[in-house]
Structure 1
Amino acid sequence: ADDEVDLKADKLPALKALQARMDAAYAGNPLDTPVDRAFASMVKDTAMPKALPQALLEGLEWDAEGRRYETLSGVIAYSARVAAAVGVMMCVLMGVRDRNALARACDLGVAMQLTNIARDIGEDALENRLYIPQEWLREAGISEEDFLKHPKPTKAVRQMVRRLVVESERLYLRSEAGITRLPVTCRPGIFAARFIYAGIAGVIRDQSYQTITTRARTTKVQKFGWLGLSMLRSFSGMMMPQSAVIYAKPLPEVQFLVDAATEGVAEKREWSDKFFDPIQQLRNADVEKHTA
């Protein structure tokens, strides 16, 4: 979908065409092409909620419109659509509908998109794209017009990149707990994505958050190392206790994705959920007792 839109000079008509193809597939009347027939078959076989690919198309539409974002929450809302929605769709394809796992998948998607934004700030400016929150620019006394015309790696700009990286790293850590709830055969690839993208964030940090004229790159040696670590983490997770981080609330901006993926689905609960629920109920009762 991304290429179908990005490679077109006039993006909005391309988006409308994609929307029509998706609507046809969900109606059971896909276009007579291998891709459309396969998509329609996948939708039927997995009961893929339409709200998920719809969210992706909405994010692409925001890009086509050149939308700007006032706050970090706005940037995360955009990331929810172009990245977290993909993570939730992958979970559905894997047969995972657990709310906690879906929330952590969203964490990973948002983290990866924030890393992309931090890495590509200079390149995006040359294409008249801007994902830095408007309020951050105002706080630094930088006008959008000046930044897009003459992007410079000033201390203030590097501080903005740092804020994006810090938030992404927080979400990478939260995401790990959810990967252990995926099918074992799927875990290495997802762990690899987590480590490689977090590695890019690390390179950005090592180059003092200067991404205006320098692109953060990782080496083949690093990637092979992360692949090995991914295999290790995938199978060691089978012997380790479940992290309590799995129960962290979803980001508010991704809640609609979690709700869409679990609507009408009988949730399969892990044994750890059954163990922790009574404990949480006791804690809640204790809090109510002391605040009454």
Structure 2
Amino acid sequence: MSVHADMDHCREAIRTGSHSFHAASRLLPASVRDPALALYAFCRLADDSVDEVADKAPAVLRLKDRLDAVYAGRPANVPADRAFARVIEDFDMPRALPEALLEGLAWDAQGRTYADLGALRGYSARVASAVGAMMCVLMRVRDADALARACDLGVAMQLTNIARDVGEDARAGRLYLPTDWFAAAGLEPAAFLANPRPDPVIREMTRRLLAEAQRLYHRSETGIRALPLAARPGIMAARYVYDGIGGEVRRAGFDSVTRRAHTSRGQKLGWLGRAVVQAGMVSLVPRSPVLHARPLDETAFLVAAASDPRPVQGGWSDDVLDVFSQLAAQDRHMDGGRARPI
């Protein structure tokens, strides 16, 4: 298929699969928008291929093989993989960034829970900040401070997603709320998963997630001025659109168990307009020292990988390979929750 046909496929995947990103991407310059859509299509379809199947381990292992093939210059014969391979070649995309994303998906396949907020930020770094760092690479931005703030934005977005989906995740047997919060409240995670209810304890946990997201949204704004002028409205729009989802959760009294926050087309258009205005004012505001704040401990490895101007083609890290080894063992011995004969 042609390059144009592959891109049409990526655009359609994002248009139907991620309304928030699709809305924000309309404000990106074409030089960034098309590779961003290719990147996001690969990431979104990768996430869906794991999230939408019961047997997640084989799905993640197939993704590992697909990423290996992309970096070997032999992408699978599907539009998203072909388009992503072109992005990798054109932008010298450090391999550690998409590898981090797949590691986060592998954690999902393992059914990991997170002991505290720091561990949850570590998960968010992989499934969201890795994408933010890759977006910076697409803008030819390798400045460590700008990358750190992009990673802040990624963690904020993911925490917002988790806060929005508390009930949906619980009904699917997934728990992302920090388990030490349950211990402090005298509540058993298993009891919540068995009977998810928006009691005051769960609402308070949701509030705390959104408070951390809010802190990181504000930190992320200081990095906007380090981006190319034409790209600033699109990134600012992403910040407002996702924060707007958190606003809907707040308006629901932090009940994301019995309801799932949605934003309207009118709201998105309003945030896009606000983003254009705010992005135009960024250069007029005095530079904030927050721009130079150290990256979160959980995202520092992404900043280091993306700020290296040399193309990074190395293999999987030992830690990530260990996760995949565990998944392979899980796949060998389990079949739909039943032990396979060995």
Q: TM-score, normalised by structure 2?
A: 0.75
Change in 2 beyond 3 A, CA 1:243/1:28: same
Q: Is the 8 A contact 2:149 2:220 kept in 1?
A: yes
- 206-215 vs 171-180, which deviates more? 206-215
Shift of residue 264, structure 1, vs aligned partner = 4.6
Q: Is the 8 A contact 2:147 2:307 kept in 1?
A: no
Q: What stretches of structure 1 of length at least 5 have no aligned partner?
A: 266-292
Choose from 156, 162, 168 the match for 2:207.
Answer: 162
Choose from 85, 107, 112 the match for 1:40.
Answer: 85
Give SS of 2:222's match.
Answer: helix
Cross-structure match for 2:123: 78
Cross-structure match for 2:98: 53
Choose from 14, 17, 28 the match for 2:73.
Answer: 28
Choose from 281, 287, 290 the match for 1:236.
Answer: 281
Cross-structure match for 2:229: 184
Q: Is the 8 A contact 2:60 2:102 kept in 1?
A: yes
Matched, 1:127 2:191: no
Q: TM-score, normalised by structure 1?
A: 0.87
Q: What stretches of structure 2 of length at least 5 have no aligned partner?
A: 1-45, 311-342
Cross-structure match for 2:187: 142
Shift of residue 241, structure 1, vs aligned partner = 2.7
Shift of residue 225, structure 1, vs aligned partner = 1.5
Percentage of pairs with the same residue: 55
Alignment RMSD: 1.6
Structure 2 letter corresponding to 1:195: Y
Separation of aligned partners in 2, 1:220 and 1:30: 36
Matched, 1:213 2:258: yes
- 20-29 vs 54-63, which deviates more? 20-29
Separation of aligned partners in 2, 1:97 and 1:109: 16
Cross-structure match for 2:30: none
Cross-structure match for 1:197: 242
Separation of aligned partners in 1, 2:119 and 2:261: 24
Matched, 1:67 2:112: yes
Cross-structure match for 1:111: 156
Separation of aligned partners in 1, 2:179 and 2:48: 27
Cross-structure match for 1:92: 137
Separation of aligned partners in 2, 1:165 and 1:123: 17
Matched, 1:173 2:218: yes
Shift of residue 94, structure 1, vs aligned partner = 1.1
Structure 1 letter corresponding to 2:156: A
The count of aligned residue pairs is 266
Give SS of 1:8's match.
Answer: coil
Separation of aligned partners in 1, 2:266 and 2:80: 35
Separation of aligned partners in 1, 2:210 and 2:224: 21
Q: How does 1:205-284 map to 2 (within 5 A)?
A: 205-264=250-309
Separation of aligned partners in 2, 1:256 and 1:109: 14
Structure showing greater Rg: 1
Separation of aligned partners in 2, 1:201 and 1:126: 20
Shift of residue 251, structure 1, vs aligned partner = 0.4
- Deviation string, structure 1 residues 236-272 (Cα, Å, up to 9, x no partner): 213333222111110000000001111255xxxxxxx
Shift of residue 159, structure 1, vs aligned partner = 0.9
Shift of residue 196, structure 1, vs aligned partner = 1.3
Separation of aligned partners in 2, 1:34 and 1:211: 35
